């Protein structure tokens, strides 16, 4: 049933938002040099690798200087990229990931292999389901960049504090996986974006 709604909503979203996606693409090209889209290898269902797609929000080769984005005004982020990130518009191309089946609208956010390799036997259970565009952890840590900005060691705090807490929420979702929870998370995600504040 969830896969049915994933396909339905992703197709509907791509069709309705297509003119908007074109406008965003044009502004990205005007705003900074480089490609419109950014793809990164992430770990998906059953521990398999796939490419996640986003609108490019950073300067070229920015990921060579670290996997984490620290602070809302990370100097690697373009001026238009800041706007896209603030309203989560950079995630819109992932509708194509959802349509193809590599992702779901709702599910644990996919991580890079570097972080997944540090999962415990219990934590790796989150790879039993498709990764998603949004989940409870994404809502709670909507301001993750700002949190890491105040950290003396962002990489350490992400791996040992934030990531385990995210996985805890992901496991709760997996253990209560049903269509009602699916729609509830979508609703709260939209609410948090519209009001630009973290919803608990």
Quick one: average pLDDT of 85-93? 92
Task: List Cα–Cα distances, 135 to 29, 120, 124, 140, 145, in angstroms.
Answer: 30, 20, 16, 9, 17
Asked whether residue 172 is domain-assigned, the answer is: yes
Provide the pLDDT confidence category of residue 68 given band limits of 50, 70 and 90. low
How much is the pLDDT for 199? 41
Q: Which residue has the higher pLDDT, 18 or 200?
A: 18
What is the DSSP secondary structure assignment for residue 117, as one 8-state letter?
T
Asked whether residue 111 is domain-assigned, the answer is: yes
How much is the pLDDT for 196? 60
H or E stretch including 180? Answer: helix 179-194
How much is the pLDDT for 50? 98
Instruction: Measure the CA–CA gap between 155 and 139, rounded to whole angstroms.
Output: 21
Number of domains comprising the chain: 1
Q: Which residue has the higher pLDDT, 105 or 142?
A: 105
H or E stretch including 38? Answer: strand 37-43
How much is the pLDDT for 74? 74
How much is the pLDDT for 71? 54
Mind listing the pLDDT tens digit for each residue in 107-157? 999 999 999 999 999 999 999 999 999 999 999 998 887 788 788 898 899
Asked whether residue 50 is domain-assigned, the answer is: yes
Instruction: Say whether pLDDT at 200 is over 80.
Output: no
Q: Which domain holds residue 23?
A: 2-194
Instruction: Say whether pLDDT at 198 is over 50.
Output: no
CB atoms within 10 A of CB 162: 19
Asked whether residue 88 is domain-assigned, the answer is: yes
Asked whether residue 200 is domain-assigned, the answer is: no
């Amino acid at each position: 049933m969830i896969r049915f709604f994933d396909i339905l909503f992703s197709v509907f979203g791509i069709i309705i938002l297509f003119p908007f996606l074109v406008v965003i693409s044009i502004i990205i090209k005007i705003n900074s040099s480089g490609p419109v889209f950014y793809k990164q290898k992430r770990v998906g269902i059953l521990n398999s690798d796939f490419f996640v797609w986003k609108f490019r929000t950073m300067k070229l080769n920015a990921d060579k200087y670290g996997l984490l984005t620290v602070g809302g005004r990370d100097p690697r982020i373009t001026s238009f990229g800041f706007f896209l990130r603030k309203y989560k518009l950079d995630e819109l191309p992932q509708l194509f990931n959802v349509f193809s089946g590599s992702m779901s609208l709702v599910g644990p956010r996919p991580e890079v292999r570097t972080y997944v390799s540090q999962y415990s036997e219990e934590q790796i259970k989150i790879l039993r389901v498709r990764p998603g565009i949004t989940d409870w952890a994404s809502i709670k840590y909507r301001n993750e960049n700002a949190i890491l900005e105040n950290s003396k060691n962002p990489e350490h705090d992400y791996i040992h504090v934030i990531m385990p807490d995210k996985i805890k929420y992901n496991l709760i979702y997996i253990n209560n996986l049903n269509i009602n929870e699916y729609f509830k998370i979508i609703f709260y995600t939209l609410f948090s974006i519209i009001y630009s504040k973290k919803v608990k």
